[in-house]
């Protein structure tokens, strides 16, 4: 079974559309026999994806740093729970376990994790698929910033192939299902 790391919000104070998209993502992952690797939280979109995936018969792996292993925060429904000594080790473990990555809407931590897997792919450390689920246009301004980065030659335009922008969970699943690693140019401008 392939496993997908899902990075997303731990906030419950967000619009319902994000929870609906997280729920559908979990259902579709289970239907596609994709296991979930995630931050192990029971709150926010993290909890929603895990609950919906489990309800649909899927497998979940929560990866939690010791400092956040808090009762009432950490999910109790996971098939596996991995406790790491710190956040750095948690991120490395999630990347190691995952066969691909989906970024649902989230805050600074989600952005940091998605940008890290993009950078690692750019540098040739992996060839795994990376998908931003642009639910309700959440990431549209970020993609404008990416275009600015390309326009200003801080990154090559070919690096648009590092990631896929999905407007729906169905599109994200279709991309993951048909993924072929792109031929990326060398990072360095010469």
pLDDT at 74: 85
The yes-or-no verdict on residue 34 having pLDDT over 90 is yes
Residue 187 placed within a domain: no
Query: Looking at the 3D structure of the chain, how many domains does it have?
Result: 1
Q: Which has the closest alpha carbon to 7: 176, 132, 167, 143?
A: 132
Does residue 188 lie in a domain region? no
Interval 139-163 mean pLDDT: 97
Q: Rounded CA gap, 188 and 174, in Å?
A: 32
Say yes or no to pLDDT of 122 above 90: yes
- pLDDT of 31 reads 98
158, β-bridge pairs: none
What's 139's domain CATH number?
3.40.50.450
Mean pLDDT across the stretch 169-188? 92
Instruction: List the one residue out of 25, 14, 88 whose CA is nearest residue 51.
Output: 25
Does residue 189 surpass a pLDDT of 70? Answer: no
Give me the pLDDT at residue 128, please: 98
Q: What are the strands, taking DSSP E only, across 32-99?
A: 34-38, 60-65, 80-84
pLDDT value at 184 more than 80: yes
Residue 185 counted as domain residue: no
- Identify whether 184 is part of a domain: no
What is the 8-class DSSP label of residue 100? E
List, for residues 58-90, the tens digit of each pLDDT value. Answer: 999 999 998 888 887 788 999 999 999 999 999
Residue carrying the six token digits 């407007």: 167
Residue 114 is part of which domain span? 2-177
Over residues 37-57, mean pLDDT:
96
Q: Give the phi and the psi of residue 182 in degrees, each rounded to 5.
A: -80, 160
Q: What is the mean pLDDT of residues 154-170?
A: 96
Rounded to whole angstroms, the Cα distance separating 131 from 169 reads 10
């Amino acid at each position: 079974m392939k496993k997908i790391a899902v990075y997303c919000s731990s906030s419950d104070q967000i619009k319902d559309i994000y929870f609906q998209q997280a729920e559908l993502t979990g259902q579709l992952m289970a239907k596609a026999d994709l296991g979930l690797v995630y931050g192990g939280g029971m709150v926010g979109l993290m909890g929603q994806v895990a609950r919906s995936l489990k309800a649909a018969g899927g497998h979940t792996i929560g990866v939690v740093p010791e400092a956040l292993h808090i009762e009432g925060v950490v999910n109790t429904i996971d098939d596996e729970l991995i406790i790491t000594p710190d956040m750095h080790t948690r991120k490395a473990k999630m990347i190691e376990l995952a066969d691909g990555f989906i970024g649902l809407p989230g805050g600074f931590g989600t952005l940091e994790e998605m940008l890290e897997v993009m950078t690692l792919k750019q540098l040739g450390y992996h060839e795994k698929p990376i998908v931003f689920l642009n639910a309700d246009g959440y990431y549209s301004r970020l993609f404008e910033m990416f275009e600015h980065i390309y326009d200003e030659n801080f990154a090559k335009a070919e690096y648009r192939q590092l990631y896929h922008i999905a407007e729906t969970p169905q599109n994200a699943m279709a991309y993951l299902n048909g993924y072929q690693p792109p031929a990326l140019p060398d990072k360095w401008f010469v």
